[in-house]
């Protein structure tokens, strides 16, 4: 009998077609427990579609997806989704403007997209702890409409943490942040990524500088296919990124070891 631990996420031969358009072609990808991933690729390469297929908002044309031991098509994916936290700008737009941060986070205890419910049995202290993990406990009573973009991202991640997800998907979370706010935000993400028993992270980004040291692996997509996948040091190179973005690019590390891309 095999003693190999089951991966957190396994995607095999995943294809998504809409009409004659191949959105994803034979994607193979395995996320082991304890890994954090970044997904990189040019606009339109299929990053969001891949994550939508994993979270069952986009139906695969073929292939297999197994998350946390449950196979797509054989399990109630509404239940599986509760173990996946998603943070994307498309979703943050749906928060009622007058809602305070505490209530936004509380609504994450029964998180389902488009299904905002609140249960009195969900303890407020847990919501405050989730806000605390992102360093924004002091914003608990502030209304969504007055929060800055960086504060909103942190509150929304705190909301996702209420359901104790096994996986946290962050779709371009730094978009719209000024350079200083981005650094503060990334510092918070690093702390979250370093938590023992915290969720695995998948960070979608266009910027290699946002790949912080706790991110162990990277998936690079090009035109709906996997161009490279593996540990950051192996899968990410000037050559791979030049192919991914269709232009000569040089991947460098600064003195602190931080990645940057020279066009
Ligand atoms: N329902 C659909 N029908 C037809 N084409 C679609 C559909 N959904 C997505 N696409 C196409 O699939 C491709 C991949 O889109 P996707 O949003 O996944 O890319 P992305 O890598 O997330 O892009 P970006 O970096 O710009 O967010 C695009 O060319 C898009 O137009």
What is the domain partition of the chain in residue ranges? 9-262
Distance between CA 205 and CA 173 in Å, rounded? 8
Helices and strands, number each (H, E), in the chain: 9, 12
**Backbone CA torsion sign across 68, 205, 225, 233:** negative
Phi, psi of 58 (to 5 degrees): -135, 125
Please state the atom number of ligand 1 nearest to the C-alpha of residue 50: 18
Q: pLDDT tens for residues 5-50?
A: 789 999 999 999 999 999 999 999 999 999 999 999 999 999 999 9
Q: In terms of DSSP bridges, do strands 217-222 and 37-40 run parallel, antiparallel, or are they unpaired?
A: parallel
Q: In terms of DSSP bridges, do strands 37-40 and 200-204 run parallel, antiparallel, or are they unpaired?
A: parallel
Please state the atom number of ligand 1 nearest to the C-alpha of residue 45: 21
pLDDT averaged over every residue in the chain = 90
Cα 166 vs. chain centroid, distance in angstroms? 11
Instruction: Measure 133 CA to ligand 1 centroid, in angstroms.
Output: 33
Residue nearest (by alpha carbon) to ligand 1 atom 8 = 49
Instruction: Measure 191 CA to ligand 1 centroid, in angstroms.
Output: 31
Q: What is the largest CA-CA distance in the chain?
A: 56
Q: pLDDT tens for residues 85-107?
A: 999 888 888 899 999 999 999 98
Residue 3 confidence (pLDDT): 63
- pLDDT of 66 above 80: yes
Please state the atom number of ligand 1 nearest to the C-alpha of residue 42: 25
Residue nearest (by alpha carbon) to ligand 1 atom 10 = 23
Fill in the DSSP letter of residue 56.
T
Supply the CATH classification number for the domain 9-262: 3.40.50.300
Q: Which of 44, 47, 90 has most ligand 1 atoms within 8 Å of CB, for mutation?
A: 44
Instruction: Measure 232 CA to ligand 1 centroid, in angstroms.
Output: 25
Q: pLDDT tens for residues 175-226?
A: 989 999 999 999 999 999 999 889 999 999 999 999 999 999 999 999 999 9
- pLDDT of 2 above 70: no
Percentage of the chain with pLDDT > 90?
76
- Band of the pLDDT at 159, cuts 50, 70, 90? very high
Around ligand 1, the residues with Cβ closer than 6 Å are 18, 21, 23, 41, 43-49
pTM of the model: 0.91
């Amino acid at each position: 009998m095999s003693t190999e631990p089951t991966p957190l996420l396994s995607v095999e031969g995943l294809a998504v077609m809409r009409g004659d358009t191949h959105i994803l072609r034979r994607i193979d990808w395995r996320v082991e427990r304890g890994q954090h991933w970044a997904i990189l690729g040019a606009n339109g390469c299929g990053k969001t579609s891949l994550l939508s297929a994993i979270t069952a908002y986009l139906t695969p044309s073929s292939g297999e997806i197994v998350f946390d031991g449950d196979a797509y098509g054989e399990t109630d994916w509404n239940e599986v989704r509760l173990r996946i936290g998603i943070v994307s700008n498309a979703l943050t737009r749906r928060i009622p403007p007058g809602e305070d941060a505490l209530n936004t986070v509380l609504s994450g205890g029964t998180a389902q997209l488009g299904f905002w419910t609140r249960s009195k049995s969900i303890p407020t202290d847990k919501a405050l702890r989730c806000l605390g993990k992102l360093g924004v406990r002091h914003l608990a009573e502030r209304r969504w409409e007055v929060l800055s973009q960086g504060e909103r991202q942190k509150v929304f991640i705190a909301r996702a943490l209420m359901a104790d997800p096994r996986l946290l998907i962050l779709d371009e979370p730094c978009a719209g942040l000024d350079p200083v706010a981005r650094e503060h935000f990334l510092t918070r993400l690093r702390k979250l990524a370093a938590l023992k028993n915290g969720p695995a992270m998948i960070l979608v980004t266009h910027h290699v500088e946002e790949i912080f040291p706790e991110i162990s692996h990277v998936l690079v997509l090009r035109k709906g296919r996997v161009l490279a996948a593996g540990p950051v040091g192996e899968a990410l190179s000037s050559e791979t990124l030049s192919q991914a973005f269709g232009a000569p690019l040089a991947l460098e590390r600064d003195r602190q070891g931080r990645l940057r891309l020279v066009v």
